[in-house]
Amino acid sequence: MRCPFETKELLIAAAPDIFFDDDHYRGDRAVLVRLPVVAPDELDSLLRRACDFQAARQKAQALKIISADATHYRAPGRPTLHEYHEGAPAMTDLSRTPVTLIVASRGLGRVLAETFHRLGAQVLVVARGQAGLDAVARDLPGVAMLACDASAADAPDRVFAVQAPRILILCGGAMPPCRPFPEVDWEEFSGNWNNDVRMSFHFLQAALKRPLPPGATVVTITSGAVRQGSPISGGYAGAKQMQIFMTGYAQKAADRADLDLRFLSLAPARLMPQTDIGAAGVKGYAAYNGTSEAAFLEAMGPWQTPQQVADALLDLIGEAPPGGNFIVSPDGVAALS
């Protein structure tokens, strides 16, 4: 039954013979109910309250509140960055929730690792480079590490042997060539297909075949390049669109097999110069347009930050419907159509 965290705790404390929790649902805004001991009229009341709570959450999700001391928006009830450091409770309680981040030792993945770690999740970071993993281990005590080529066919088995995630984030990708189309060869053009798409292919299939624990969420991070392409990025935009297609394929397969799994995709709308790929893209497009990097950024206009993407991801994990594809910009989150 869906309910606020505080209601969940009160119900379990007041009537443990009726309401309970387990490792699978711990950290969710939901309480388990022993149906055989609940009277029909009481069950009807509980279900009505759950529906009212869900409707209120969906309405609140549509609101975007600008933080007074940070440059990113926050969902209603989520503390500002200042409040995080002051110890205010986060809106999303992920204590001990197994979260696995694929290719997450730098850039956006690193910010996601920091965010989930701050919320108390049981984080596993997977990346190919040991140096990046060592930096994460140094800065985020308690986060588990696994050095692994995420595009390898055996990568999911290696990763899931370490942790069966309740939340799986596929956020890595190869560096696009950042040169005009006539100047790249096929190996460069297909780089993101042979890395990003192959990674998603293996992990999405493994999530279905293993399968992941009931209620698990898999999110693939894609790119706003799917909207208009990217003439200096080889096959990057097409690879990202294929990842979105595969997200839908996976959700359909889960539904057909009656698996309680949710597959989502989230695309940062614009280049993020704070990341390696974003910085390379800014440099490449500035050269392509015959302008300075500063002039290109000014013409591009505001871009979402990695922390905004992390905040949007948390909101989607909390409320997004299965199979949804979304895009995040400085204006907030929208359905990707």
**The tokens of 93 are what?**
């309680």
Would the pLDDT of 60 be above 60?
Answer: no
Would the pLDDT of 77 be above 60?
Answer: no
pLDDT digits (tens, 9 = 90+) for 179-189: 999 999 999 99
The predicted pLDDT at position 13 comes to 74
Q: With contact defined as beta carbons under 8 Å apart, do 277 and 177 qualify?
A: no
Q: With contact defined as beta carbons under 8 Å apart, do 127 and 103 qualify?
A: yes
- Answer with the residue of higher pLDDT: 261 or 22: 261
pLDDT-based confidence at residue 49 (cuts at 50, 70, 90) = confident
Before 79, cis peptide (omega within 30)? no
Where in the chain are the domains? 5-57, 93-335
Q: With contact defined as beta carbons under 8 Å apart, do 262 and 217 qualify?
A: yes
Gap between the Cα atoms of 17 and 5, Å rounded: 19
Percent of the chain with pLDDT over 90: 68
pLDDT-based confidence at residue 36 (cuts at 50, 70, 90) = confident
pTM over 0.85: no
pLDDT-based confidence at residue 43 (cuts at 50, 70, 90) = confident
Mean pLDDT for the chain?
86
pLDDT digits (tens, 9 = 90+) for 272-291: 999 999 999 999 999 999 99
How far separated are the first and last CA of the chain, in Å rounded? 32
Would the pLDDT of 78 be above 60?
Answer: no
Would the pLDDT of 91 be above 50?
Answer: no
Would the pLDDT of 27 be above 80?
Answer: no
pLDDT digits (tens, 9 = 90+) for 194-219: 999 999 999 999 999 999 999 999 99
Would the pLDDT of 28 be above 60?
Answer: yes
The predicted pLDDT at position 54 comes to 59
What mean pLDDT do residues 95-122 have? 94
Sign, CA dihedral 105-111-113-114, equals: positive
Would the pLDDT of 269 be above 70?
Answer: yes
User: What is the identity of the amino acid at 135?
Assistant: A
The predicted pLDDT at position 112 comes to 96
Would the pLDDT of 50 be above 90?
Answer: no
Before 211, cis peptide (omega within 30)? yes
pLDDT-based confidence at residue 46 (cuts at 50, 70, 90) = confident
pLDDT-based confidence at residue 84 (cuts at 50, 70, 90) = very low
What mean pLDDT do residues 17-31 have? 78
Write phi, then psi, for 169 (nearest 5 degrees): -115, 120
Among 113, 29, 121, CA closest to 77: 29
The predicted pLDDT at position 315 comes to 94
Class of domain 93-335: alpha beta
Q: With contact defined as beta carbons under 8 Å apart, do 105 and 132 qualify?
A: yes
The predicted pLDDT at position 10 comes to 64
User: What is the identity of the amino acid at 280?
Assistant: A
Residue in the structure block whose two tokens are 């440059």 = 71
What mean pLDDT do residues 13-18 have? 79
Write phi, then psi, for 2 (nearest 5 degrees): -70, 135
The full DSSP string for 111-160 is HHHHHHHHTT-EEEEEES-HHHHHHHHHHSTT-EEEE--TTSTTHHHHHH
